[in-house]
A and B are shown apart, each in its own frame.
Chain A
Amino acid sequence: EAGVTQFPSHSVIEKGQTVTLRCDPISGHDNLYWYRRVMGKEIKFLLHFVKESKQDESGMPNNRFLAERTGGTYSTLKVQPAELEDSGVYFCASSLIKRAGGPYEQYFGPGTRLTVT
Chain B
Amino acid sequence: DQQVKQNSPSLSVQEGRISILNCDYTNSMFDYFLWYKKYPAEGPTFLISISSIKDKNEDGRFTVFLNKSAKHLSLHIVPSQPGDSAVYFCAARRAQGGSEKLVFGKGTKLTVNP
Chain A interface residues (CB < 8 Å from chain B): 4, 31, 33, 35, 40-45, 48, 50, 55-56, 58-59, 91, 93, 95, 98, 102-103, 105-111
Who on chain B is nearest to A56 by CB?
B99
Count of inter-chain pairs, beta carbons less than 8 A: 70
Task: Establish whether residues A4 and B104, one from each chain, have CB atoms under 8 Å apart when the complex forms.
Answer: no
A103 in contact with B105 given A91-B43, A110-B43 (CB within 8 Å): no
Task: Establish whether residues B104 and A44, one from each chain, have CB atoms under 8 Å apart when the complex forms.
Answer: yes
Chain B CB within 10 Å, residue with most, of A4, A33, A58, A102: A102
Chain A binder among B12-20, B44-52, B60-68, B77-85: B44-52
A107 in contact with B100 given A42-B2, A42-B105 (CB within 8 Å): no
Chain B contact residue count (CB 8 A cutoff): 28
